[in-house]
Structure formats: C-alpha cells, structure tokens
Copies of this chain bind each other. A is one copy, B any other.
Amino acid sequence: MADLSLTRELVTTADTKIVLLVMDGLGGLPREPGGLTELEFAKTPNLDKLARESMIGLSIPISNGVAPGSGPGHLALFGYDPVKALIGRGVLESVGIGLELTPDDVAARGNFCTVDDKLLITDRRAGRIPTEKCIELVNLLKPIKLPGVEIIVEAVQDYRFALIFRGKSLSDRLTETDPQKTGLAPLPVKALDPEASLTADLANAWIANAREVLKDKRPANMVTLRGWAKEPGLPKFADLYKLRSAAIAVYPMYKGLASLAGMTLVQGLHNLDEEVEALKTHWANYDFFFFHFKYADSRGEDGNFEAKAAEIEKVDAILPRVLELKPDVLIVTGDHSTPAVWKAHSWHPVPTLLYAPGLTRRNDVSGFGETECLRGALGQFQATDLMPMALAYARRMNKFGA
C-alpha cells in the first residue's frame, strides 16, 4: 500500500491537471453465470475507446472481502488509510451541508421519525417528509438551549438533519438511539467511555426537549440520533499533495468527504450536466478535480440492473466533454461496487481506468469492464495507490532516493 508520508515527501508541483471521476458503486455482477456486469452491459463507446488508450485494472477499496461505506471508499480514493481515518456519519452530514466543524464539536446525524403514543417507532423516516418540512421542523428545534454547550442544528435532506454540540470536553463515544426497526422505542444515548457521560446527558436532554417541541406534529413527532463523530483532522490536499483541488458533486455526503480532504466545494450543482459545466468553468483555477456521480450506486441499491447500466451510459456520454479539456490524467473508477443483484455495497474490486497520454503502457483490451480489467496493465491494486499514481502520471512526483 502507498505510504502517505513517502508521497508527501516526493510530491512536487507541475502545470498539469488531474480529474478523478468517481461513478459511485460502479463495480457490478452478472445477472446469470457467465453473463455481463452492468458496466459490460451498458453501451459505453467512449469509455471503451478510452480504455484501449489507457491502462485499466481493478481497485481494491479496503481489502479483499470488505465492502466499504461511502466514507472509507472515498477516503481510500483520496489516498488516506480508510481503516485508520474513520469518519462518522454525523461529521459527513454536517460538512456535507457546508457546516465547518471545530475540534470542540461532536456531530450526529438526526432522523425525524414517527412514534405512537407508547413512544414506539412506527416509521423510522417519518414518511420520508420533504426537505421543506424538514427545514420547518428544524427551525422549531433551533431554540433548544442546554448549559455549557453551543448547539447547531440544520436540515440536510428529506427526513435527515445534522446536530452539532460545540463545547469543551465533549466526546463522540456514544451509542445511537435508532433501534433500526419499527415497533421499538428510541434508545437512550449511553456513554461508551466514562469521559463521554457529560455528552450523553446533553444528548438525552436535547432529545427530551425535541420530543416536547414535536409531540403534536405529524408524521414527524420524534427524532433519532446516530453516527456520533468528531472532525478527523485529515491532512489536506494542498499540504499533502500540493494540489489546488475542487470537488464537483451533487450530494452532501460527497461534498462533505471532499471538504474533510480540504477541497474547495463547487456549490449549487444539481445534475451531471451542471457538473460538467462546473468542471469547464473552474478548469483554470484548480489542479485536481474530484468529480462525483451518484446514480450508478443508487440504481444498484435499488436492484435495477438496467437502470444502473443506463446511468453508466449517461457518464459515458459526457466523457468527450471532459476529454475536450485535455486533462493530463483522467481516472475513471468507483468508490466500491454496488451490484444490482446484491442491492448493496459489495467488496468486489472496482473497474478503474487511468488515462495519461504518452505515459501509459499498452493493454490488450477491447473496452472497459470487469473482465477486461483483469487483463489490464494496472492489475489489481489498493485504492490508496491511486493518488500516488495520479500524481506520478501528472509529473508531480520526484524520484525517491539517489
């Protein structure tokens, strides 16, 4: 695995551009033995042509057999050790909506839910209330005050919100309150360490106040809290890689992950077309672009093989517009596999393409897909090796040793 301190030592600057195009959940599985995966089934003439001019291979996000969440999957792509750099969902949700965290903060992801009069949960997502309703309810929660701590609460999307406690001696060693099924009551927050008991008390007090505010509302008359986490303090792309980096993403979580890596977030993007336009608009101002596309994963989680292939085709269609910008290095990969037949993130290695004109070896491959990647020049490699490779192919790494 790449050694981050070695990369940091060797990295230098150059007038080159790197694009990391992440199709979330790209890797797939065939529907029948010997069949094609989603990527292989999709009509991807642009990716296939590019694969023949690039080096392809398979990225192992964490290790064989380990299916990563979005956090570890992206951290590995960004070059961080995904096992050491654990980031809780609370931090992801918070930074994803543009909240800046301090080392004094503990963040949680909140869900609005529905409880009956015995306080048993009847809907863990409160009927998936729309974002406008979420904002309205969050505004009612904002006045809640507790001694010795600043409280920040902001709507995220649908039934989700972010909660931050800011104060001295707070800990994220807390249990979650979502019982993960209906018919059960929300759990109390418990301290996992003695030092976390103050924070647990604050959390339980906040929940009691929130219930009081919400008790007559329908369908969202209660909250659950999970993903307690502190800001992880990752080294930032500017220091670590000497890169001016920008994140082009629609979804809050991926913007959040990028912000933890120190990338500038391009705001206000709603779809793939706007993402490509943003890449063009900001091309001159950054060296590195993290370009995230969500829907391959979403349709994989839905179990919809053909819809996932169709999403991959949409990315294929915008590829010429990316190549027009003449990136020195273009990597196309995923943060993990989300096979439609599995309907969830999986542990399968992820098809990866590295385009770097003039510096790549020949693949004898016909196109971009899981089976062709087995024969590609990149072989199977750790996802954490991608950033050092991107930097090397972008002429941004010095020689190691005399």
Report which A residues bind B (CB closer than 8 A): 1-3, 6-7, 10, 29-30, 33-37, 52-53, 58, 62-72, 82-83, 86-89, 92, 227, 341-342, 344-348, 357-364, 370-371, 374-377, 379-382, 385, 387-393, 397-402
Residues of chain B contacted by A35 (CB below 8 angstroms) = 362
Given contacts A33-B357, A70-B401, 4 further A-B contacts (CB under 8 A): A6-B63, A33-B360, A347-B389, A380-B381
Could you write out 9 A-B pairs with CB less than 8 Å apart? A33-B357, A37-B361, A63-B385, A65-B391, A69-B402, A70-B402, A342-B359, A362-B371, A374-B376
Copies per assembly: 2
B66 touches A53 (CB 8 A): no
A62 touches B374 (CB 8 A): no
Q: Is the interface of A mostly helix, strand, loop or mixed?
A: loop
Whole-angstrom CA separation of A65 from B384 in the bound complex: 11
A399 touches B361 (CB 8 A): no
Whole-angstrom CA separation of A65 from B1 in the bound complex: 11
Nearest Cβ in chain B — how far from A337, in angstroms?
Answer: 10
Provided the pairs A10-B66, A64-B2, A67-B397 are in contact, do residues A30 and B371 lie with their beta carbons within 8 angstroms?
Answer: no
Nearest Cβ in chain B — how far from A9, in angstroms?
Answer: 10
**CB < 8 Å: which of B341, B363, B376 contacts A358?**
B341
**CB < 8 Å: which of B82, B362, B388, B402 contacts A71?**
B402
